[in-house]
Amino acid sequence: MKILFADNYHSMSRKAANIISAQLILNPHSVLGLPTGSSPIGTYQQLIEWYRKGDLDFSGCHTVNLDEYVGLAARDSQSYAWFMHQNLFSQINIDPANTHLPDGTQTDAAAECQRYNDLIHKLGGVDLQFLGIGPNGHIGFNEPGSAFEKETHCVALTESTIQANARFFASSDQVPTHAYTMGMKAIMQARKILLIASGAAKAGILYDALFGPITPQVPGSIVQLHPDITVVADQDALSVILSRQPQQVSGRTPC
């Protein structure tokens, strides 16, 4: 596991975008696993900027997103499909047919999860899985207590995740209660993982995920077992790790 230091959110985003760019340059046909949320927005903005400068080409790659709310259509402004369209896909030269998310309008959960698993396998698996981490340690929507061995499945969101995501909705009672999410098994099958974290609110959980016991109670802790994981986090998110395991953190140079 490599843990890279970033001064702040902007620097974290640039370092993460550099890693994604390297992946795309080395393999233009990469399958990228992507998250939504506040953490990756700066990375997506940086990738867009480099694309506009002519340094990046997304025409050959595929993306598979981690998750989608059950009940929301892609054109719903709160859906993750819409988030991805607005924050990345509409601003780069990716073929929309190569962008994949679970379909939140599908009511047959088993069939939709099977379709998504089959799709990921058909694409040859994920080359680089980009991840954020929730305040309770969730990855995708794999909430504490989720079995590690699951592929895509339907989950009931915990109250803490509903409250954390309420900031994107008019009120917390509008946050959907269920989501389709890639499971920890599918995430761990990615060839590489890139995990980002920013802000003091993530400091405790980042330490627990990377240095605590590997337990379903902290879903993100499973990444400790991945053979090729890079973590990029800013100073605030690294504060607990820097106080207890400073020798594990590298990359204190600008990027």
Give the residue carrying structure tokens 């927005």. Answer: 41
Q: Which range of residues in 32-40, 48-56, 232-240, 243-251 is near ligand F6R by CB under 6 A? A: 32-40
Instruction: Decide: is 132 part of the binding site for ligand F6R (CB under 6 A).
Output: yes
Instruction: Decide: is 39 part of the binding site for ligand F6R (CB under 6 A).
Output: yes
Give least dist CB 92 to ligand F6R, A.
Answer: 18
Q: Which range of residues in 89-97, 105-113, 137-145, 221-229 is near ligand F6R by CB under 6 A? A: 137-145
Q: Measuring CA to CA, which residue among 118, 181, 130, 96 is closest to residue 24?
A: 130
User: What is the distance between the alpha carbons of residues 127 and 90, in angstroms, rounded to a whole number?
Assistant: 22
CB-based closest residue to ligand F6R: 132
User: What is the distance between the alpha carbons of residues 66 and 46, in angstroms, rounded to a whole number?
Assistant: 20
Give least dist CB 186 to ligand F6R, A.
Answer: 12
- Can you read off the two tokens belonging to residue 133? 């981490």
Instruction: Decide: is 104 part of the binding site for ligand F6R (CB under 6 A).
Output: no
| Site map 52..81 versus ligand F6R, x via CB under 6 A | --------------xx--------------
Sheet holding 249-250, edge to edge: 99-100, 62-65, 31-34, 128-131, 192-197, 229-234, 2-6, 249-250
Q: Measuring CA to CA, which residue among 126, 138, 129 is closest to residue 222?
A: 138
Site residues (CB under 6 A) for ligand F6R?
35-39, 66-67, 132-134, 138-140
